[in-house]
Amino acid sequence: MLIIILGLIVVCVTLLWTYFRIKFRRMMQLADKIPGPKPLPLIGNALEFGTNTKEIFNNVIRLSNEYEAISRYWLGPQLCVHLTDPAYVEAILSNPKLLDKAWSYKYLKLWLGTGLLTGSGQKWKSHRKLITPTFHFKILETFVDAFNSNADILIKQLSTHVNGSEFDIQPYITMCALDNICETAMGESVNAQEDSDSEYVKAIKSMCDSIMFRSFRPWLHADFLFEMTSAGKLQKKCLDILHGKTKRVIASRKKRFLETAGSRNDTFEDNEGIGRHKHTAFLDLLIQSSENGTLLTDQDIQEEVNTFMFEGHDTVAASMGFTCWSLAAYQNIQEKVMSELKEIFGDSNRSPNIQDLQAMKYLEQVIKESLRLYPSVPLYGRQLTTDLSIGKYTLPAHTNVFILPYVMHRDPKYFPDPEKFDPDRFLPENILDRPPHCYVPFAAGARNCIGQKYAMLEIKVTLCQLLRNYKLLPGTTPLDITNEIVLKSTTGINIALEARGKA
């Protein structure tokens, strides 16, 4: 009986492999011309990437460095190509027809639906057009008060560590970013900083781990198989938490919106004709747009709110954490930031306003340099809908093309002594001769990050207030970089604090 079973397995595998070779014959022929490791039948190169997110990330980086400008591998039937040459990257990001996200993004759709991050086609185009005005600078300006208020809470939360031993600052920053996005996206405070054991944050982390875990295991790509695993069952619980939160808030805000429609006096037109509310949440703007005749269903609104809850807190928190680590490690740079803040604030204890934030040129260079070395999203992808010629290679339709800022930003051709933290790389005169697509932390082209100005304002407010209260000192625990969709350190962001008066 055992021999019969083994025989049937061999026959099934052989038939499946034959079908695979016939169906993907042309793709395989073109893929063989691209540098990369030799794949195994059916599972491709999946076994080369390890068993956890840290190993996967290390091997992705190793592969890209080994084959340099372009490399390829297979995950089951999925052909993946890495690009790290700015010219190749530009060919992808600047092409208005290449807007579909890579295959692995489908696992995010369980959580985010087809919002701006994961959507495609006409729905994505119409939503992008609708949502872009909500990130106008005049609207972002109204969020500064919330950023300041939550930064004040962060300062109080960190006070217990002043003049103490090193500690991991990342959880504190993450909770601050979560409070910010909840207030500005949903219009509701979750008091994450004062209730740090947040099931919402835990659910986000578990979802990210699950997506990375599944993407590199072809045998779990089928939904029915994944749902039977412990990871699949945990993911379902996380989705209940994440979706439940946004559904409750949307229902509440929509009810309030309808009750107060026609009786508002908090709306005004600025001199550019853009209507806005004082402290208007992103959710309220979506509801208002829907009421004004744009066809946005409750499901559409939920997808976009979920998208911004994810993208607007985890990525920003990662950037703030790595910037804190860098400032602690480079005391001379921290003091230059302090000199700039003293020029802006003098002896005043006031919170920063929008004009102050615009004047923080050197702090912005520091943030950009941190994003160079530690891009919040270390890789992102597109899926080709047609064949595409890049250099001497032809990438076949359905190829998953991945851009790797984490590797590109360390190319010594464009960033000499790439491991050195040097904010002067982003002085206006030093940017001129660099190809624009050698630095892409927010992507580029039609699908660039819609919230990058929001992120920069939030990071500036938080770091400004943090530095005016505390001197950041280096810890002894080194970073241990990994990718959980968003760049993280498995050892945390360990620094120490010393009190100082406000700038």
The token duo for 88 is: 């190749």
Q: In what order do the strands lie in the sheet with 167-168?
A: 167-168, 494-499, 470-474
- For residues 117 and 115, give the distance between their C-alpha atoms in angstroms, rounded to a whole number: 6
For residue 162, the SS3 value is strand
87 Cβ partners below 8 Å, 6+ apart? 391, 435, 437
CB 162 within 8 A of CB 470: yes
CB 348 within 8 A of CB 399: no
Strand partners, 149: none
Q: At what angle do helices 361-373 and 331-345 cross, to 10 degrees?
A: 150
Please name which of 28, 80, 24 lies closest in space to residue 49, comparing C-alpha atoms: 80
- For residues 255 and 203, give the distance between their C-alpha atoms in angstroms, rounded to a whole number: 27
11 Cβ partners below 8 Å, 6+ apart? none
Please name which of 32, 106, 108 lies closest in space to residue 72, comparing C-alpha atoms: 32
421 Cβ partners below 8 Å, 6+ apart? 326, 329, 330, 333, 369, 370, 373
CB 364 within 8 A of CB 456: yes
- For residues 58 and 56, give the distance between their C-alpha atoms in angstroms, rounded to a whole number: 6
For residue 77, the SS3 value is coil
Q: Which residues of 460-488 are buried (b: 16+ CB within 10 A; e: fewer)?
A: bbbbbbbbbbbbbbbbeeebebbbbbbbb
CB 46 within 8 A of CB 75: yes
- For residues 242 and 200, give the distance between their C-alpha atoms in angstroms, rounded to a whole number: 6
Does 208 appear as a known binding residue? no
* Element spanning 472, H or E: strand 470-474
Angle at 337 between CA 336 and CA 341, to 5 degrees: 115
- For residues 337 and 281, give the distance between their C-alpha atoms in angstroms, rounded to a whole number: 31
Which amino acid type is present at position 189? S
- Could you list the residues known to form a binding site for heme, using ranges: 449
- Could you list the residues known to form a binding site, using ranges: 449
